[in-house]
Amino acid sequence: GMDGKGAAGLPCATCHAESNPPASYGAHAPPGAPHWSLPPAAHKMAWIGLPADQLCAMIKDRSSNGDRDFAALIKHVSDDKLVLWGWNPGQGRAPVPVPHDIFVTQFKLWADAGGPCPVVGS
């Protein structure tokens, strides 16, 4: 759907619940987390395949990150239950390979440094 919440008559919540289903549902059950959605149609999954410099710029760009400054970004990666889902993605899915506490610590260091982005071609 245009808003990222599913097609007309078939919202994401039809299949995606507030949490992962029990393991007994099998490896291909729909994952679940609060406010499950895709990005709005205008944004698509625009970060997939981006080089590090462009991904970094997109994360900092308030027009594409939910209007978040660094403090809000830190809160987002620290507390948002949909983000936290990545570390507990349910049966058959690999979690984020970096422990969450280390990820948040490194994210804070990056933000405290002004969010420097890599320079491509240097």
pLDDT tens digits, one per residue of 90-122: 888 999 999 999 999 999 999 999 999 999 865
**Torsion angle in degrees (nearest 10) through CA of 65, 71, 77, 79:** -120
For residue 90, the SS3 value is: coil
Token pair listed for 92: 């058959």
Cα separation, 71 vs 79, whole angstroms: 12
Contact 51, 120 (CB under 8 A): yes
Of 3-7, 14-18, 46-50, 111-115, give the lowest mean pLDDT range.
Answer: 3-7
Higher pLDDT, 50 or 122: 50
